[in-house]
Amino acid sequence: MLSNSRSVRIEWGDCDPAGIIFYPRYFAMFDHSVTMLITAASGVSKAELLKRFDFDGYPLVATQAKFITPTRFGDDVIIQSTFMRVGRSSFEIKHQIRKNNQIAVEGQETRAWVKRDPNDRTKIKSHPLPEELAARFRGEF
C-alpha cells in the first residue's frame, strides 16, 4: 500500500504550558498528512482533486491513537502515513510519528469518500471511490 512521509517541527503553539504537545494537535497533523498522502497518490492538489472527481471530501469516520512517548517544543518528527485498506467507499490510514527514529505516536483512522445529496445539500452520502484513484491508493500504478 502507498505511504507518504513528511517532517514536522513541534512549535510552541502545538504545546501546553509544560512544553509537551497538546494531544489534539496530533489529530490536526494526521489530517494534513492524509491530504498530503492523497496528493502523492493522485498527483494533484486537493482543490484539483475535488474538481476532477466531482465529490465533496473524505471526512473522518473513526479515529484512534496511542501515545507512546511525548514530543516537545522544538522536536523534529517524521510523520509516515500509509493506506492500510481501500474499500468501495472508504479507506483506512495508519499514521506513525517518529522522534529520533523511535515511535512516539501511532494513529489510525477511517475516512469515507462522499458526495452531497442532490436533494438536500446539507447531507452527505458515501460514494464509491473512482477505481483509478483506489488503485493509486493501493499503490497499483
Contact 89, 127 (CB under 8 A): yes
User: Each residue of 110-125: pLDDT tens digit?
Assistant: 999 999 888 888 889 9
The confidence score (pLDDT) of residue 141 equals: 72
100's CB contacts (< 8 A; 6+ apart) are: none
CA 69/CA 139 separation, integer angstroms? 31
Per-domain boundaries in the chain = 3-137
87 vs 24, 45, 137, CA distance in Å?
Answer: 27, 22, 10
- Which residues are registered as beta bridge partners of 82? 3, 94
pLDDT band at 12 (very low <50, low <70, confident <90, very high): very high
Cβ-based neighbour number of residue 10 at 10 Å: 22
Q: Which CATH architecture has domain 3-137?
A: Roll (3.10)
